[in-house]
Amino acid sequence: MVLDHGKESAAEKLAKAESPIYDPSLCKRPFVYDAKRRYALLVVDMLNDFITGAIKCERMIPKISHVSHVVDAARQAGVPVIYSNDAHRRSDFELYRWLPHAMQGTWGGEVIKELTPKNGKDHLVPKRSYSSFYETDLDHILRGLYDEEGANTLLLAGLHADCCVRHTAADAFFRRYEVVVVEDAVESFTEAQLRIGIEYVRYWYLADAISSKEAARLVQGIRLVH
Ligand code: ZN
């Protein structure tokens, strides 16, 4: 018998690749869910180019129903739904990093048909870089919600966990919003990137990560047991 020294099994490789860099056991407990939560659901970059187009992430396809489950629950509960959408112009610096994608006014920059925003009800926030807050109206919109009391807790769904979701979570933290990542309603190009994205925001921004079923219950006023 020849021993296969130095070779890892596929399972060992996978276990290594999926080891979280940000150990979840080191994450601080997130905020306290209390009666003062005023939620807003942020759907990030669920656009044609991001799912099936220029920079497609087909790993997201099976999760579209998870996003729509939370969107439906939010709408039913009267929780504001905000779409944060890339709307690039040729001069955008980000396009030196990426292929042209989600260009303003194109099919690639439209929200996928499964998640079509409700006209006159949902909010649309065009953006030109990773963070949903950067040079956008998002903060202004959030502060105007709930009769000007403002939303104070953001639920994040969409793409990518380790890029626009992560940068949005950072800017939310800087502005004192609490953040919940809907972990089965976000994705990235690889499993490792997905896990790193989620654990990073849990570690650094006191974010919580919950399932779409839990998120649907949360927006409907059902307290979660943590
Ligand atoms: Zn972009």
| Domain membership flag for residue 15 | no
Listed residues: CB within 5 A of ion ligand 1: 86, 94
Query: Which domain covers residue 91, as residue numbers?
Result: 45-222
Residue 39 lies in a domain: no
Task: Indicate the residue type of 85.
Answer: N
Which tens digits make up the pLDDT trace of 49-77? 999 999 999 999 999 999 999 999 999 99
Q: Give residue 225 CA to ligand 1 midpoint distance, Å.
A: 36
Q: What are the pLDDT digits (tens) for 81-136?
A: 999 999 999 999 999 999 999 999 999 999 999 999 999 999 999 999 999 999 99
Distance 58 CA to ligand 1 centre (A): 17
User: Does the residue 18 lie in any domain?
Assistant: no
Q: Give the distance (Å) from ligand 1 centre to CA of residue 131.
A: 10
Does residue 30 register a pLDDT over 90? no
CB of 89 closer than 8 Å to CB of 104: yes
Alpha-carbon Rg of the chain, whole angstroms?
18
User: In Å, what is the CA distance from 64 to each residue of 51, 154, 209?
Assistant: 10, 19, 17
The alpha carbon of 87 and the centre of ligand 1 are apart by a number of angstroms equal to 8
**101 part of a folded domain:** yes
Q: With a cut of 60, say whether residue 204 has pLDDT above it.
A: yes
Q: What is the CATH number of the domain that holds 171?
A: 3.40.50.850
Measured CA distances, 187 to 158, 166, 174, 178, 225 (Å): 7, 11, 23, 20, 25
Could you give the CA distance from residue 188 to residue 194 in angstroms, rounded to a whole number?
Answer: 5
Report the pLDDT value the prediction gives residue 225, as an integer from 0 to 100: 53
Domain count for the chain, please give it: 1
The Å distance, Cα 187 to ligand 1 centre, comes to 15
Strands in the chain per DSSP E = 39-44, 81-86, 123-127, 153-159, 178-187, 208-210
